[in-house]
Chain A
Amino acid sequence: MDNNNYAHVAVKGNEAPKPTANVGEHIDTDKIKEDFPILSRDQNGERIYYLDSASSSQKPIQVIQAMGNYYASTHANVHRGVYTIAEEATRLYENARIAAGRLIGAAHPEREIVFTKNVTEAINLVAYTWGRANLSRGDVVLLSEIEHHANFVPWLMLAEEKGVELRYIPMDKTYNLDLSNLVQLSAGAKLIAVTAASNVLGSITDISKISDVAKQVGARLLVDGAQFVPHRLTDVKSIDADFYGYTGHKLLGPTGIGILYAKQELLEEMPPFLGGGEMIADVRLDGFSTTDIPWKFEAGTPPIAEAIGLHAAIDYLEQVGLDKIAAHEKSLTVYAIGALTDHFGKDITIFGPEPSDSKDRAGVVSFKFADIHPHDVAQVLNEYNVCVRAGHHCAKPLMRCLHVPATTRASFYLYNDEEDVNALIHALEQVKKMFG
């Protein structure tokens, strides 16, 4: 279906404005903040301190405008019309696919990137299509204890339906995955599916090591990159991932778009996911045939504006520089953990690796006061315009490992700075006064 392959068509129109803060060695957060209208919104006479980017990031004006411009100037359904705006919309949508693949180093982004609703759907797609076709009773899928529910439940469903055996890589005392028994755990595994970075602990998984073992035992490797891709340079080729998922809204992009990377040869042989328009080559009264990858996995009108917003978000991140973003988040995390320990000492428990030079750590800081419930903490913090997440963070098995029902979590992104952390500390002092 060559006429369906728009990937090679050049970029045209709808250029988003450039980020204002892409010069210099370090990130200028004051400048960056200017790109994010929500960060200057008023809440009871003051700005907000947004420390919940691990849940969802805020959006720069460049993303908001790219989506607005598209609707104002170019919207039409994709892969259908022969008129100019339909062709332009199609080109923009397919260009977004290339950008989404380029960001993670895909070899053939035009064929190896499938757009989904979010990373949850991306993982479900793999479980539903590849999993159902390739896994049967007694086959082993190796996960870890620290996964987000998005990378538990699809496999639990498959375990119930097919009798697939699930095993789990445990967490060690330093809040990292314990890979010491990985070879034994992987024996007989057909798939290893792990997160690249924990949304609760901030620990970063040694994917290269897991990948080596996966190759050794002949297992496929799926990586949940939801918390990694927005914050670190990703290269699916160097880790030889078979499947890699991430989600637009945590990466300055809009909600409603997720990204599944899968190796071309796997996508070729996987059965389709949802059925409908867009994914077919032919439909007769007695059957259908599917179209080429990746469209075979994109039934129905896709999230066009969302893909265009995602493209603008990727451009923004690349222009600021993911290396600079990583360095900025690391130093802010060190500052935050230091400040929390200085102020609250033994009263506070931080669930996550100690920051160190030798091992990378994401900007996610989960903590708990002994006698104050995280939900109460977050409620009082809101009074001081500090936005944090409290709860189980969609990681109930991990909460059980930590022996807590919930934690409070502050998480950082490129627009956060020490002022945000100071606001957090100040508000936490009020919490202590109230409940202490």
Chain B
Amino acid sequence: MSGLEDLYREIILDHYRSPRNRGELESPPAIKVEGFNPLCGDEIIIFLSTKDGVIEDIKISGQGCSISQSSASMMSAAIKGKTFAQARELIDYFKQMMSVHESRLDQNTTPDGQSIDAPENQLDLDSIGELAALQGVVKFPVRIKCATLAWNTLTQGLDESKSTER
């Protein structure tokens, strides 16, 4: 079973079966953003309640495969209560992780040999640790879009809330 256990780690299946921060927030005032993955019909809806540059609350709805849904669930746990800057740093970290070539996974380097910086701003190490479980996805290139869907949608949400925040 080449790599399948890497893809479907227990922690991923756990987030899929019992997703965190599932639900909706009233919008407005909450920001609502939708993302689609045309490949498999995944759909993610993110509700963000923000104040003074901090993500006070986040809810996720929509439906999709285990990878897209668990990635969204982990993301919500990791960024709730964080500042926009921290969230963006985590997005960068995650997307870098998704672009790392398989053979370099252990060395924490990108294909051109640069090392990936762990986020600096005292992010919750537990949730980063969980996110690492999604690293196995890079061995399944068509599924990378599933894993990054929530994160791209979040970027869109942060951009939108920035333009509405005073």
Q: Does A390 contact B (CB under 8 A)?
A: yes
- Is A391 within 8 A of B64, CB to CB? no
Contact A374 B2 (CB under 8 A): no
User: Chain A contacts of B1 at CB under 8 A?
Assistant: 383
Max chain B Cβ within 10 angstroms of own Cβ: one of A374, A376, A399: A376
- Bound form: Cα–Cα A380–B8 in Å: 10
Is there an interface contact between B41 and A392, defined as CB atoms closer than 8 Å?
yes
User: Is A373 an interface position by the 8 A CB rule?
Assistant: yes
Q: Determine how close the nearest CB of chain B comes to the CB of A398; give it in whole angstroms.
A: 12
Expressed in whole angstroms, the minimum distance between the Cβ of A367 and any Cβ of chain B is 15
> Does B66 lie within 8 Å of A435, measured CB to CB?
yes
10 contacts between A and B (CB under 8 A): A373-B63, A375-B39, A375-B40, A375-B42, A376-B65, A383-B2, A392-B40, A396-B41, A405-B43, A406-B40
B55 CB–A CB distance under 8 Å: no
Report how far A15 CA is from B54 CA in the complex, Å.
72
Tell me, yes or no, whether A184 is within 8 Å of chain B by CB. Answer: no
Which residue on chain A has the smallest CB distance to residue B1? A383
B88 within 8 A of A: no
A380 to B4, Cβ gap below 8 A?
yes
Task: Tell me which residues across on chain B come within 8 A of A181, comparing CB atoms.
Answer: none
Collect the chain A residues with CB atoms within 8 Å of residue B13's CB.
435
- Picked from A373, A375, A383, the residue with its CB within 8 Å of the CB of B4 is A383
Q: Judging by beta carbons under 8 Å apart, are B143 and A373 in contact?
A: no
A405 touches B64 (CB 8 A): yes
- Cβ contact within 8 Å between B2 and A373: no
Contact of B40 among A373, A380, A383 (CB under 8 A): A373
Q: With both chains docked as a complex, state the minimum distance between the C-beta of A79 and any C-beta of chain B, in angstroms.
A: 39
Question: Are A379 and B143 in contact (CB-based, < 8 A)?
Answer: yes
Task: List chain B residues, Cβ under 8 A from A396.
Answer: 41
Residue A434 interfacial (CB < 8 Å): yes
User: Which residues between 338 and 392 of chain A lie within 8 Å of chain B, taking CB atoms?
Assistant: 373-376, 379-380, 383, 390-392
* A234-249 CB contacts (< 8 Å) to partner B: none
Contact (Cβ within 8 A) B41 A406: yes
| CB of B7 closer than 8 Å to a CB of A | yes
Interface string of B1-36 (1 = CB under 8 A from A): 110100110000100000000000000000000000
Query: Does any Cβ of B come within 8 Å of A3's Cβ?
Result: no
Q: Which residues of B contact A379 (CB under 8 A)?
A: 4, 7, 140, 143
Q: What residues on B are CB-neighbors of A390 within 8 Å?
A: 40
Closest 6 CB pairs of A and B: A373-B65, A375-B65, A405-B41, A375-B40, A406-B41, A392-B41
B146 touches A (CB below 8 Å)? yes
Partner of B41, one of A380, A383, A399, A434: A399
In the assembled complex, the Cα of A435 lies from the Cα of B65 at a distance in Å of: 12
Distance in angstroms from A377 CB to nearest chain B CB is 9
A180 at interface (Cβ–Cβ under 8 A)?
no
A435–B63 Cα distance when bound, in Å, is 16
Q: Once the chains are docked, how many angstroms separate the CA of A375 from the CA of B7?
A: 13
A84 at the B interface (CB under 8 A): no
Min C-beta distance of A293 to chain B, whole Å: 37
Among B8, B38, B40, the residue within 8 A (CB) of A374 is B40
Q: How far is the CB of B146 from chain A (nearest CB, A)?
A: 7
Q: Which residue of A lies closest to B146 (CB)?
A: A375
A-chain residues with CB within 8 Å of residue B41 when the two chains form the complex: 391-392, 396, 399, 405-406
CA of A399 to CA of B63 in the docked complex: distance in angstroms? 13
- Nearest residue (CB) in B for A407 is B41
B138 nearest CB across to chain A (Å): 14
Compute how far the CA of A380 lies from the CA of B65 in the bound complex, rounded to whole angstroms.
Answer: 12
Q: Is the CB of B2 within 8 A of A434?
A: no
**Contact call B66/A373, Cβ cutoff below 8 A:** yes
What residues of A have a CB within 8 angstroms of the CB of B146 in the complex?
375
A66 to B67: give the CA distance in the assembly, Å: 43
Please measure, in the bound complex, the distance between the C-alpha atom of A266 and the C-alpha atom of B131, giving whole angstroms: 60
Q: Is the CB of B63 within 8 A of A405?
A: yes
Q: Determine the chain B residues whose CB is within 8 A of the CB of A374 once the complex forms.
A: 40, 65
Bound Cα distance from A380 to B143, whole angstroms: 13
Other CB < 8 Å A-B pairs besides A375-B143, A376-B67, A405-B42, 8 of them?
A374-B40, A375-B67, A376-B65, A392-B38, A392-B41, A396-B41, A399-B41, A406-B41
Interface string of B118-144 (1 = CB under 8 A from A): 000000000000000000000010010
Residues of A within 8 A of B65 (CB): 373-376
Contacts of A405 in B (CB 8 A): 40-43, 63-64
Contact with B along A408-436 (1 / 0, CB 8 A): 00000000000000000000000000110
